[in-house]
């Protein structure tokens, strides 16, 4: 995205709204991913704490986010809320930046959302995972909703 001024990170509420939208879509993806592995468990329930299964679902989450970030610059939830992710050069992030962003977003979210709240005190309104992956989630009012 090329503009005459530096892009401004989106607000926290818009970011959370897109996350909730993506959570619903991700739930469907993880449901389908589970259906794919049920034949390997002979149709029995997969027990809580199964490390290979947990890693499998985590990798599905990674592919869901990183593929969309690197290909389109936004997930479907981000598209609905007119958000776009860019790197330091204003382009869609490369796989390395997307991977780092995904990995940093895990503790950012699971430590009581402190990584998101970081944006309330950051001068550029960046979250913890934005700042350290050198990416930025911006509002792009020009993006047509789905």
Q: Please write the tens of the pLDDT for every residue from 59-93.
A: 999 999 999 999 999 999 999 999 999 999 999 99
Q: Does residue 41 form part of some domain?
A: yes
Domain containing 131 equals 12-139
Q: What are phi and psi of 138, to 5 degrees?
A: -120, 155
The answer to whether residue 144 is domain-embedded is: no
Higher pLDDT, 145 or 59: 59
- Predicted local distance difference test score (pLDDT) of residue 27: 97
The answer to the question of residue 6 being in a domain is no
Here the tokens at position 133 are 């992956």
Percent of the chain with pLDDT over 70: 92
Name the token pair of 89: 């050069």
Cα–Cα distance between 6 and 91 in angstroms, integer? Answer: 13
Tokens of 91: 């382009």
Provide mean pLDDT across the span 39-62: 91
Residue 145 lies in a domain: no
Residue 7 lies in a domain: no
Whether 1 maps to a domain, the answer reads no
**Does the pLDDT value for residue 19 go beyond 60?**
yes
pLDDT category at 2 given cuts 50, 70, 90 is very low
Whole-structure pTM value = 0.86
Does 3 score more than 50 pLDDT? Answer: no
Number of domains in the chain: 1
Confidence grade of residue 144 (pLDDT, cut at 50, 70, 90) = low
Token digits of residue 131: 């700042």
Whether residue 20 is contained in a domain is answered as: yes
Taking alpha carbons only, the member of 36, 93, 84, 92 closest to residue 60 is 36
In a domain, 45, yes or no: yes
């Amino acid at each position: 995205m090329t503009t005459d001024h530096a892009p401004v990170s989106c607000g926290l509420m818009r970011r959370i709204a897109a996350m909730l939208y993506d959570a619903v879509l991700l739930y469907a993806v993880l449901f389908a991913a589970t259906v794919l592995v049920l034949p390997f468990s002979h149709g029995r329930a997969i027990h809580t704490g199964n490390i290979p299964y947990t890693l499998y679902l985590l990798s599905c989450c990674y592919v869901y986010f990183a593929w969309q970030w690197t290909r389109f610059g936004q997930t479907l939830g981000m598209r609905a809320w007119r958000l776009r992710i860019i790197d330091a050069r204003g382009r869609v992030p490369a796989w390395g930046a997307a991977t780092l962003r995904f990995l940093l977003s895990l503790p950012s979210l699971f430590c009581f959302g402190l990584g998101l709240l970081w944006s309330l005190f950051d001068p550029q309104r960046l979250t913890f995972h934005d700042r350290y992956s050198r990416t930025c989630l911006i509002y792009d009012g020009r993006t047509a909703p789905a």
